[in-house]
Amino acid sequence: MKTLGKLTVVCGSMYAGKSEELIRLARRSLYAKKRVQVFKPSIDDRYHQTMVVSHMGVQHEAETAKNVAELQIKVKKDTQVLLIEEVQFFDEKIVDFCVAMADRGVDVICAGLDQDFRRQPFGPMPKLLAAADEVIKLRAICMKCGAPASHTYRMVDGKPAHWDDPIVLIGATESYEARCRNCFEIRKGRKKS
């Protein structure tokens, strides 16, 4: 009988432990002697081009793909477990791709931010979560009060970001924190001049 594929999505805010969970699942699959491939989008070059690295420094080798088409080319025919890190950065074609892989019998595991710094659904995540067989939603710890945190708070030059601040800010210092709903902050959009 054909192997039954599965689509798992690991989601949550920054610092929730998504990368650690993805790495844990990749290692388990390797212990199980499965043929494993780990991918991340090539835009995420925060740490290392060919590594998945968690905030605590846990690492695992990864291949990069700049879009879904490249991912499709790089996935080997005999891969049994396919893991995708920072999946929120791929466009919506990733959803059909993951579903097709799972239909083919592959165990697909994706990790990604479910909300952006405005608490809005991030890229393809809503559709991916709807298509999943299993959703693992993790929470971080609020960096202000210590409560469980589901949100990613963006700070620009020491103050809460504006709603319409661009994703890339030239010349500004920015940082992100995990925050609970009581401590989450965002400023209204800037007026257009």
86 has catalytic annotation: yes
- Closest to Zn ion by CB, 127 or 144: 144
Of 99, 131, 141, 156, the one binding ligand ADP (CB under 6 A) is 141
- Closest to Zn ion by CB, 4 or 145: 145
Helix, strand, coil percentages for the chain (3-state, nearest 5)? 20, 30, 45
Left if phi > 0, otherwise alpha if psi is -120 to 50, otherwise beta: which for 146?
left
Closest alpha carbon to 135 in 126, 146, 148: 126
List the catalytic residue out of 21, 85, 86, 177. Answer: 86
Residue 103 contacts residue 2 (beta carbons within 8 Å): no
Tell me the C-alpha to C-alpha distance, in Å, between residue 79 and each of 9, 30, 107, 143. 18, 12, 9, 39
- Binding to Zn ion (CB under 5 A): which residues in 125-164? 142, 144-145, 147
Binding mask 24-63 for ligand ADP (x = CB under 6 A): ------------------------------xxx-------
- Tell me which of Zn ion, ligand ADP, none is bound by residue 56, counting a contact when its beta carbon lies within the kind-specific cut-off of 5 to 8 angstroms: ligand ADP
- Tell me which of Zn ion, ligand ADP, none is bound by residue 75, counting a contact when its beta carbon lies within the kind-specific cut-off of 5 to 8 angstroms: none
- Tell me which of Zn ion, ligand ADP, none is bound by residue 143, counting a contact when its beta carbon lies within the kind-specific cut-off of 5 to 8 angstroms: ligand ADP
Closest alpha carbon to 161 in 173, 150, 171: 173
Residue 170 contacts residue 161 (beta carbons within 8 Å): no
- Closest to ligand ADP by CB, 5 or 17: 17
For tokens 């009581």, the residue is: 182
In the chain, how long is the greatest CA-to-CA distance? 64
**Cβ of residue 100: shortest distance to ligand ADP, in angstroms?**
26
The catalytic site residues sit at 86
What is the contact surface with ligand ADP in residues (CB under 6 A)? 12, 14-20, 54-56, 140-141, 143, 178
